[in-house]
């Protein structure tokens, strides 16, 4: 009998405990509904703050106070009894801070007033108008959706707004930088207007990526020359139309003369002339232009790709209008697991700049690997002072998958982007622990989990491309390695061989003063540090230097041995994550535990594939034995024919 009841309960248990699909993100407040929230009269943003607190605040009373004497910078003062801010948005951020601390059973932070470091904290969505997402690994677009309709669509966007506001994100570029000009047609402006209305109470401005050739491509003008009067007129009219519908529209993001996109060069004009023309029409309405510097293959085609941004932009320093922000990727190549910082940040002293991070894990395992990116972004800030930047942008990893981001831990990268945009001095560990407490509950051993998260980026570097190697990825998908790949249909700069330059004499790209001299674009002390083989940090060695296979590293080990060891170290780390995840099993709901467990197994398989593929390939040149001393992972030699990297 006992047995029967037990098996009945077991059979029913999935029905008894609600399914955990990850949709709730880190916003798992328990409804309470007994708090007295005292607040002044206000608009929709204040009302949102009041509603959230009324529903979820577990204390008896909380006062919201608008104080015009405080700074107008989205900041707030929260002391456990009241939240004070200059603005309604500051109060909303304060409300989420109060709920965040409540969820973690933590006290209000000492130190009083807190305000975001960057005034613009913007997600860049690479969503296409047909609903697909470039480098999206979690389903289709939530904005240009074929899957979500009517109320469900609006509801998802509202949830998106709420999640962003809870971490202080205040802008969204809704569409891909490789955009169709059609986004500027009335049909899409209607959609954008509806989205803007839904997001407004959450303090989020919408922006659009625009195609520089739009007026011509849409058939209104004969040219897209930024100095042509008909072109200027068209853009002005378009901006007026947008602002009439969306008075707080943020502005345009532009990818021009990069990877085949049209731009001012097509008409013999400079990036500054192109950006300023758009800046003029937006300035009338308080809008801005975010002009991307990540260009290559245009004016300086043939030059080392990592140098082209500085070559194209440095003479334009000081020529951009005051509402133009130059937006650059954190590294000079393309969101690799590790890159040195992009030297454009050293070269544009009189230009407002923004950094673009990639939250979506294009080169770090996409929606399949547990790789927490906060340490990578913190590393960037150790070279480029946040104070020198005007804005921060993150290429979003959000799609219409029920759990938003694919990998349950990829949500942490969205969260971390918001938190670092607020305060870049938060440590990776602090952010991880905050996220864990809210996402998995306070019963979970957050120390173990945070340790796993904060070491995961380095593990990824190890098993993908250690010691400054870069762009070893297959050109079609950037998911796995293809060290030997050269495809006739792709430009050479998309293929790995020109980057690793492995040959009998050694490996690595000579960017020292004896090579392409990319080091000359860096400020001191980095210029000399990277130029000099003896002082170049090992983690950037093969980025800046071509060295023999038996080169002695700073730790005394031979390059080839260290390369092998690091691939193994990366794998060992993933094995250790599996063990830790197993230990945490009793503390995590079954659904998310199993999901992550499956993904960790895939991550391990992929890491081994990377090692096998890359080391086997390089071994043809090094002609040295694979040497390793690790325990726990047994190396299974793979025949080249078996190497078949799985696509996601």
Q: Is 367 helix (H, G, I), strand (E, B) or coil?
A: coil
Q: Find the helix or strand (DSSP H, E) in which 530 lies.
A: helix 526-531
Catalytic position from the list 334, 346, 401, 531: 334
Q: Which of 362, 400, 510, 531 is catalytic?
A: 362
* Contact status, residue 404 vs residue 25, Cβ threshold 8 Å: yes
Binding mask 81-100 for ligand GCU (x = CB under 6 A): --------------------
* Distance in Å, CB of 394 to ligand GCU, minimum: 12
The pair of structure tokens assigned to 288 is: 């801005």
Q: What is the footprint of ligand GCU within residues 332-351 (CB under 6 A)?
A: 334
The neighbour count for residue 634, using CB atoms within 10 Å, is 6
> Closest CB to ligand GCU among 216 and 471?
471
Residue 127 DSSP SS3? strand
Contact between 344 and 473 (Cβ < 8 Å): no
Q: Which is nearer to ligand GCU, 239 or 342 (CB)?
A: 342
- Sign of torsion over alpha carbons 206, 157, 132, 126: positive
By CB under 6 A, tell whether 178 contacts ligand GCU. Answer: yes
By CB under 6 A, what part of segment 347-376 binds ligand GCU?
A: 362
Task: Map the footprint of ligand GCU across residues 110-169, applying CB under 6 A.
Answer: 134-135
Of the residues 21, 134, 159, 259, only one is catalytic, namely 259
Residues whose CB is less than 8 angstroms from the CB of residue 2 and which lie 6 or more positions away in sequence, other chains included:
none
172 vs 358 by CB, closer to ligand GCU? 358
Name the pairing type of β-strands 251-254 and 288-292: parallel
Does 346 qualify as catalytic in the annotation?
Answer: no
CB of 248 to ligand GCU, least distance (A): 27
Based on CB atoms, which residue is closest to ligand GCU, 312 or 362? 362
- Determine, following the binding rule CB under 6 A, whether residue 475 of this chain makes contact with ligand GCU: no
Binding mask 2-41 for ligand GCU (x = CB under 6 A): ----------------------------------------
- For the bound state, the minimum distance from the C-beta of residue 331 to ligand GCU, rounded and expressed in Å, comes to 12
Indicate if 127 belongs to the active site.
no
3-state secondary structure of 122: strand
- 74 in contact with ligand GCU (CB under 6 A): no
Return the number of the residue (334 or 572) whose C-beta is nearest ligand GCU.
334
Shortest distance (Å) from residue 7 CB to ligand GCU = 51
What does the angle CA 536 – CA 541 – CA 547 come to, to the nearest 5 degrees? 110
Q: What DSSP string runs through 202-219?
A: GT-EEEEEE-TTHHHHTT
Looking at the Cβ atoms of 62 and 371, the one nearer to ligand GCU is 371
| Kind plus residue range of the DSSP H or E element containing 121 | strand 120-124
Site for ligand GCU in 279-338 (CB under 6 A): 294, 334
CA distances from 492 to 42, 72, 297, 482 (A): 57, 49, 11, 14
Tokens of 617: 């390939």
CB of 176 to ligand GCU, least distance (A): 7
Nearest approach, Cβ of 223 to ligand GCU (angstroms)?
24
Dig out the tokens for 594 from the structure: 């199993």
- Minimum CB distance to ligand GCU, residue 346 (Å): 21
Q: Which of 115, 177, 398, 626 binds ligand GCU (CB under 6 A)?
A: 177
Q: Nearer Cβ to ligand GCU, position 124 or 145?
A: 124
Residue 161, H or E segment: helix 150-166
In the chain, DSSP finds a helix count (H) and a strand count (E) of: 19, 12
CB nearer ligand GCU, residue 21 or residue 493: 493
The distance of closest approach from Cβ of residue 274 to ligand GCU in the complex, given in angstroms and rounded to an integer, is 16
Query: Residue 362 catalytic?
Result: yes
Q: Which of 117, 200, 255, 595 binds ligand GCU (CB under 6 A)?
A: 255
- CB 356 within 8 Å of CB 295: no
| Dihedral class, residue 517 (left if φ above 0, else alpha if ψ from -120 to 50, else beta) | left
SS3 600: helix
Burial of 519 per CB tally in 10 Å (0-12, 13-18, 19+): buried
Would you please indicate which residues are annotated as catalytic (active-site) residues? 259, 334, 362
| Footprint on this chain of ligand GCU (rule: CB under 6 A) | 134-135, 177-178, 255, 259, 294, 334, 362
């Amino acid at each position: 009998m006992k047995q029967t009841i037990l098996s009945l309960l077991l059979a029913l248990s999935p029905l008894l405990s609600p399914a955990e699909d990850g949709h709730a993100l880190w916003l798992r407040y328990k409804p309470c509904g007994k708090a007295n929230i005292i607040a002044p009269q206000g608009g929709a943003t204040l009302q949102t703050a009041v509603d959230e607190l009324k529903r979820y605040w577990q204390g008896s009373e909380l006062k919201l106070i608008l104080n015009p004497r405080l700074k107008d910078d989205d900041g707030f003062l929260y002391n456990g009894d009241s939240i004070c801010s200059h603005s309604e948005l500051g109060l909303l951020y304060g409300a989420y801070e109060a709920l965040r601390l409540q969820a973690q059973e933590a006290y209000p932070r000492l130190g009083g007033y807190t305000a975001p470091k960057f005034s613009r904290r913007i997600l860049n969505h690479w969503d296409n108008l047909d609903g697909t997402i470039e480098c999206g690994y979690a389903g289709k677009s939530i904005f240009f959706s074929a899957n979500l309709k009517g109320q469900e669509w609006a509801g998802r966007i509202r949830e998106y707004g709420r999640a962003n506001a809870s971490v202080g994100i205040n802008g969204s570029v809704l569409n891909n930088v490789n955009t169709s000009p059609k986004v500027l047609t009335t049909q899409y402006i209607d959609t954008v207007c509806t989205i803007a209305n839904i997001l407004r109470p959450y303090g989020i401005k919408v922006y659009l990526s625009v195609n520089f050739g739009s007026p011509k491509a849409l058939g209104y003008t004969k040219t897209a020359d930024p100095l042509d009067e008909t072109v200027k007129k068209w853009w002005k009219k378009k901006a007026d139309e947008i602002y009439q519908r969306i008075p707080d529209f943020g502005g345009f993001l532009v990818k021009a003369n990069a990877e085949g996109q049209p731009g001012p060069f097509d008409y013999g004009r400079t990036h500054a002339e192109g950006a300023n023309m758009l800046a003029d029409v937006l300035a009338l309405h308080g809008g801005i232009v975010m002009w991307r510097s990540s260009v290559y293959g245009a004016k300086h085609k043939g030059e080392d790709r990592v140098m082209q941004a500085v070559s194209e932009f440095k003479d334009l320093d000081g020529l951009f209008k005051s509402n133009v922000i130059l937006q650059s990727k954190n590294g000079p190549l393309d969101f690799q697991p590790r890159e040195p910082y992009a030297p454009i940040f050293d070269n544009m002293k009189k230009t407002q700049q923004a950094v673009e991070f990639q939250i979506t894990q294009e080169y770090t395992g996409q929606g399949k690997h547990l790789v927490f990116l906060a340490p990578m972004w913190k590393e960037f800030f150790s070279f480029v002072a946040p104070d020198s930047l005007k804005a921060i942008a993150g290429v979003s990893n959000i799609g219409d998958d029920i759990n938003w981001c694919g990998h349950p831990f990829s949500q942490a990268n969205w969260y971390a982007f918001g938190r670092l945009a607020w305060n870049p001095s938060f440590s990776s560990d602090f952010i991880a622990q905050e996220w864990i407490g809210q996402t998995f509950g306070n019963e979970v051993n957050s120390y173990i989990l945070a340790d796993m998260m904060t070491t995961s980026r380095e593990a990824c570097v190890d098993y993908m491309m250690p010691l400054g190697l870069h762009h070893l990825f297959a050109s079609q998908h950037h998911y796995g390695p293809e060290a030997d790949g050269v495809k006739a249909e792709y430009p050479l700069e998309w293929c790995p061989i020109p980057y690793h330059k492995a040959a009998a004499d050694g490996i690595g790209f000579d960017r020292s003063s004896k090579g392409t001299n990319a080091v000359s674009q860096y400020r001191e002390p980095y210029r000399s540090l990277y130029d000099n083989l003896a002082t170049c940090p090992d983690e950037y060695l093969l980025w800046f230097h071509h060295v023999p296979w038996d080169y002695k590293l700073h730790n005394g080990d031979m390059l080839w041995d260290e390369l092998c060891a690091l691939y193994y170290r990366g794998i060992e780390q993933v094995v250790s994550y599996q063990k830790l995840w197993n230990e945490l099993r009793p503390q995590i709901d079954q659904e998310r535990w199993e999901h992550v467990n499956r993904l960790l197994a895939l991550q391990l398989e992929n890491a081994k594939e990377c090692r096998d593929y890359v080391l086997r390939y390089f071994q043809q040149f090094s002609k040295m034995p694979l040497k390793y001393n690790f325990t726990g992972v047994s190396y299974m030699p793979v025949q080249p024919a078996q190497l078949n990297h799985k696509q996601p």
